[in-house]
């Protein structure tokens, strides 16, 4: 993935973070996903007084993409102060990822100005994850993904999601 696309993904997650609803934790998290079609979908955490109903930014971004008909992720980005996807988010992302899906964790630091970017794979974040393909819950060539895809020579352009 080229640097311009990565930067567009990070900036979308940063913008989403500004819209987080987090009056209880005061811990805003922004996320964005890049789908195989090249579109970027943002998401932010949305808290609730009944804490169990809170939804993280990563799941919001994935749900946003799925709502728009996208079910295959090329990359995921999460932005905040020392952000780490929770276990639920890690499993949720795996449902729409392949072994090749990138995860960018962008730490804004204590002052919110210093940005450090850590890149890994979604599957590396949850060893032994429940994989519905391996469990036989999906056909060998599911239409939603979980199959390896070839990226040789493929150049995709990031497009912002329509509102």
Q: Which residues are catalytic?
A: 58
Pairing of strands 159-160, 102-107: unpaired
d(CA 130, CA 128): 7
Tell me whether residue 15 is exposed, middle or buried, using C-beta atoms within 10 angstroms of its C-beta: 0 to 12, 13 to 18, 19 or more: middle
Residue 115 CA from chain centroid, whole number: 18
DSSP, collapsed to helix, strand or coil, labels residue 77 as strand
């Amino acid at each position: 993935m080229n640097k311009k696309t990565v930067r567009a993904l990070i900036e979308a997650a940063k913008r989403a973070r500004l819209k987080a609803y987090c009056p209880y934790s005061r811990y805003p998290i922004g996320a964005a996903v890049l789908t195989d079609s090249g579109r970027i979908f943002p998401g932010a955490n949305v808290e609730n007084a009944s804490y169990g109903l809170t939804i993280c930014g990563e799941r919001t971004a994935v749900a946003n993409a799925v709502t728009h008909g996208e079910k295959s992720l090329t990359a995921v980005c999460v932005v905040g102060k020392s952000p780490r996807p929770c276990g639920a988010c890690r499993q949720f992302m795996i449902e729409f990822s392949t072994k090749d899906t990138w995860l960018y964790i962008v730490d804004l630091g204590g002052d919110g100005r210093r940005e450090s970017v850590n890149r890994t794979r979604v599957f590396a974040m949850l060893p032994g994850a429940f994989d519905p393909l391996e469990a036989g819950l999906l056909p060998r060539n599911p239409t939603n993904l979980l199959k390896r895809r070839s990226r040789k020579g493929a150049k995709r352009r990031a497009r912002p999601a329509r509102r």
